[in-house]
Amino acid sequence: MDNFDKLKMIKMKQNKMKYFRLVVIAGLIFALQSCLKNNKYYIDFSKGTPALELPLAANNANSPFAVSFNIVDTPTTYFAVVNVASPSKPTSPVTGTLGLDSAYLNQYNADNSTSYELMPDSTYSISSWNVTIPAGQRQLAVPIKIFTSKLAPGHLYVLPLTIVKSSIAVSSWNHLLPNIGPKNKYDGNYDLLISTSGWGAYGIADGGSYDWGKVGMVTSGANSVVYSTGYQMGFATGGSGTVGFGAANPQFTFDPNTNNLISVTNLAAPDSRNRAFHINPAVTDSRYDPATKTMYLAYIMTQTGRPDQIINDTLTYIGPR
């Protein structure tokens, strides 16, 4: 198993190292600090310039991300978090003004061949675009009311938020693009059973079924869902530990009429491994069963220089997410 595949290894180990003397620990800490300060990668955060940012923009690289809600008659609140990025908490209030940047959304669509739409005015409401983060605090959650009953199904609505004015510098993480829509019928929490084959030579379980436990299936389109983990999951040889595959974020799309699985695509940005997904053509009944709310997903992950990895996931519904 290569290091890139060990993004998430849950393995309990017992620590038998006891009775270290306090002076030894202090010496190790001092040595570590000295090494860090002499290392060329050491960063002195005390010299950073405070800046106002939208932290979720950083998590999503200024790109759209799915936010889904149940359809209800009363408004649902979405919170846009504004953050002061600084070495220490500000000693005076930080003010700013939010706004919409439809030009950025249009440019994103043009650059990425996507078709995200600006949310209609009737689908949301914000009491004030102005924000004030008090002295001694870093964050403020700005409430935005979403009228879910007015969200037309099948649309990729985005509310392109940005910081248009600030009393301090503005971070480059300044374009928050929540793709807001109603939860589809596949959305929910499930118990995940995984079986893989084909990558036994790389330390991945080759045969057998292993229980991952609870995972969310998150609405990513009108008839599509993605894993809440944000990556493809698996197990090490013999189920000895869990594995998360990097650059691999499968999106599952179903036919809304038949509930058959019709495509599996990779939403993650490609790297040198060029990982991709497609439906396993040898299995013709990959589907969502609405009677039992169970998903049966048979698909293949490919990678440059490796054989196909066959994946069979069974997801049993637990409850709403």
Q: What is the pLDDT of residues 11-70, one digit of tens each?
A: 333 343 433 333 333 343 333 343 433 443 333 444 568 999 999 998 888 999 888 888
d(CA 59, CA 65): 10
The percent of the chain in helix, strand and coil, each rounded to the nearest 5, is 15, 40, 40
Question: Residue 70: which of 186, 182, 224, 189 has the closest Cα?
Answer: 182
| pLDDT, the chain, mean | 86
Residue pointed to by tokens 């978090």? 81
How far does the chain reach from its first CA to its final CA, in angstroms?
33
Chain segment 100-113, per-residue pLDDT in tens: 999 999 999 999 98
Q: Is 203 exposed, middle or buried (0-12, 13-18, 19+ CB in 10 A)?
A: middle
pLDDT tops 50 at residue 214: yes
Q: How confident is the model over 262-305, as pLDDT tens digits? A: 999 999 988 999 999 999 999 999 999 999 999 999 999 999 99
**CATH code reported for the domain at 188-319:** 2.40.128
pLDDT value for 70 = 82
CATH architecture of 47-182: Sandwich (2.60)
How far is 59 from 160, CA to CA, in rounded Å?
Answer: 15
Backbone angles phi, psi at 58, to 5 degrees: -65, -40
What pLDDT, in 10s, does the model give residues 141-163? 999 999 988 888 778 899 999 99
Instruction: Give domain limits for the chain.
Output: 47-182, 188-319
Angstrom distances, CA of residue 288 to CA of 123, 255, 256: 30, 9, 10
The answer to whether domain 47-182 and domain 188-319 are alike in fold is no
Q: What are phi and psi of 160, to 5 degrees?
A: -80, 85
- Can you say whether the dihedral through the CA atoms of 209, 214, 216, 217 is positive or negative? positive
